[in-house]
Amino acid sequence: MNKIDCYNSWLCKAASMVCLAVCVLALAGCNEDEANSIKEDPYAGGRAPLAVKLLSEKPSPESAGPREKVIFKASGLAEYCHPEEGTFDFDFYISDEKCKIESATDSTLTIVVPEAVSSGTTYLVLENQIFYGPYFSILGSVSIDEGFEYYKTGPYNGLIYSCVPWCGNTELTSEFYLCGDFRQEKTKPYGGIAMINNEKGLIKYGTADKIKIGRGIATGSFYDENTDEFYYPEVDGMNYWKADKESPRALIYGAFREYETYSASLGGFEFKNILLANNDLTIKTETKKFSDYTGKTYDISVPAFVGGTMMSEKIIRAFSTSDGKIIAIGNFTVHRMTDYDNTTCDANKRLLAAEILTPARSVMRMDEIGQLDKTYRRSLQNEEESLPGTTGEIKDACMLSDESLIIVGAFTSFDGKPVWNIVKLDKNGQVDDAFQSVVGGANGDINRITCTSFKDENGMEQERIVLVGSFTTFNGQPAQGMVILDAEGNPDPGFVLKELEGGILNFAKIVDLNANGETAMPHVVISGTFTKYDGITRQGFLILDMKGDAIQRFNVPGRFYGQLYDAQYSLTSDNVNGLLLTGDFSSFDGKRMNNIVMLKVDLAENTNNEP
């Protein structure tokens, strides 16, 4: 054995002896700890858990309106009741609103429903402990339409950004197009557009003259070589072509390059985030001659609509005008158009598309095939140059009845003029200075704008604009992220938004709840993250009258989780007045949701003898 081996052997023996000594000391320490250990339960003498329960069994009645008595099942309440004094050591709540306790026994609890309350979870509070009971539904004028079963499934894997009434709807029909980023089905990576009615829910592709398409847009993601980024296709909305009276075409817009199978089958051709489709949503086509590199010509059917924007510059809103024009709005910088005259093809009839790019910022006007209108919002010195548009971000826009535009977002100038997150353009695309002088602006972002026309109690046509955002003042006056304006930019003097607690608004729109009736009943439909309105628990959803009051009978649904993107008057599954809600939400009034739900709305007054 060499010196190194001897040294290693000695080192191993020394280490073993040290380990043995440590173990002996540890055992000795354990025995000493055991001798000195606590012999009694350290928690002994603490307060025993209360033998009280609020049972999950259904109460009697199972639902009730304000001021009605309800009996809940409980256990262990007797020792906390003082009937001779009419007092109780506990409190009872429905949806965080305290209820009057009428009486209680060891096994029952009788309460009176508050005058202002929404459906929600019940619970009892005793000695700072909470005991939960069943979900309780408050009766009123609004309830979920269980016959509209599509709310249980909704479109697959995507949101609904807009809900567009079919142009042929009558007082007896309610059919709608849904626009979003959803798929047709789990196994089909395309969709973006669907059609529903109030009775059956989803209308399958190709089964009706109103939706003869087979695919819609390709969903998922696509790669833009110009920006080296991925983008996600979506249909943000649809409007009807005003110049067509009998069978108006459909103006579809958002972020997409493929619609049906045309982009894939034509090779080099792409849609450009906008399309003027036929009334049944099919593509209007025409046959043109194209040559390959040998000079041989081919007859190829191609889309008639060729204009739009770059792949990465989606169109936020698009509108048609009565004189047959298209107005597109977004954070784009150029107009993009396929030039068929200089486009070639290969022997497989796949296009090698030539394109024309022209500067166009924020707002542009096109004709019915997508060609840029160079008389609209162009430099006076050079029609090839666009007016500058915004310096910030456009988030939403609407078109008023006179075809002027209101654009909102996060920007401080438009065409070089100072503005504060809102600007109005006249029919010629110029800033409306009169409106700007009246409206002032917001001290924060304006995220959404909706516009609604209705007749007032005198039969006069009214137009109201609703703004929602992160602002706290508007035109120098306090605001809670929402304001209602007239077409001239004046705040609606009759509407006062009451105090919001616990969160913010994320959507608001005026909807006539009696659209098929003789007298209009405009109300403001609201969603958000708030928990209280005007001191009463209203969790995420409101229906306000035009004074800003949350009338009890319209505000009985329970907690809403998510965000609305649209709200439309509709007939229900049994053909009474209803409200169709769409957007991005997963739960409402104690039920799971899939971004769509139909509400029944009873317009009769004094339901349940309430105030």
Complete domains list, the chain, with CATH: 53-138 (2.60.40.10), 221-387 (no CATH)
Q: Which residues of 20-45 are buried (b: 16+ CB within 10 A; e: fewer)?
A: eeeeeeeeeeeeeeeeeeeeeeeeee
Residue type, 381: Q
> 457 falls in which pLDDT band (50, 70, 90)?
confident
CA dihedral 74, 75, 76, 81 (to 10 degrees): 30
Percent of the chain with pLDDT over 70: 90
Alpha helices of 226-357 — where are they, by DSSP H?
Answer: 262-266
Residue 8 has pLDDT above 90, yes or no: no
Q: Cβ distance 147 to 121 under 8 Å?
A: no
Per the CB < 8 A criterion, the answer to whether 198 and 578 are in contact is yes
Question: What type of residue is 13?
Answer: K
Three-class secondary structure assignment of 45-107: CCCCCCCCEECCCCCECCEECCCCEEEEEEECCHHHEECCCCEECEEEEECCEEEEEEEECCC
Whether the model clears a pTM of 0.75, i.e. scores above it, the answer is yes
Q: Is 173 exposed, middle or buried (0-12, 13-18, 19+ CB in 10 A)?
A: middle
Residue 11 has pLDDT above 60, yes or no: no
Helix, strand, or coil (residue 610):
coil
Neighbours of 530 (CB within 10 A): 23
Mean pLDDT of the chain: 90
Asked whether the predicted pLDDT for residue 433 surpasses 60, the reply is: yes
Cα dist. 576→453, 523, 553 in Å? 22, 17, 17
Cβ distance 193 to 203 under 8 Å? Answer: no
Q: How many CB atoms lie within 10 A of CB 332?
A: 25
Cα separation, 219 vs 192, whole angstroms: 7
Q: What is the pLDDT of residues 23-76, one digit of tens each?
A: 434 444 444 444 444 344 444 444 556 889 999 999 999 999 999 999 999 999
Higher confidence at residue 456 or residue 167? 167
pLDDT digits (tens, 9 = 90+) for 190-248: 899 999 999 989 998 888 889 999 889 988 887 877 778 888 999 999 999 999 888 89
pLDDT value of residue 207:
80
Q: Which two tokens stand for residue 176?
A: 């709608």
217 touches 256 (CB < 8 A)? yes
How much is the CA Rg of the chain, to the nearest whole Å?
A: 33
3-state secondary structure 536-591: EECCCEEEECCCCCCCHHHCCCCCEEEEEEEEEEEECCCCCEEEEEEEEEEEECCE
Contacts of 464 (CB under 8 A, 6+ apart): 451, 452, 453, 454, 484, 485, 486, 492, 510, 522
Partners of residue 378 on adjacent β-strands: 386
- Counting every residue written for the chain, the total comes to 611
Please identify which residue in the block is written with the tokens 């739900």: 597
How far is it, in rounded angstroms, from Cα 148 to Cα 573? 6
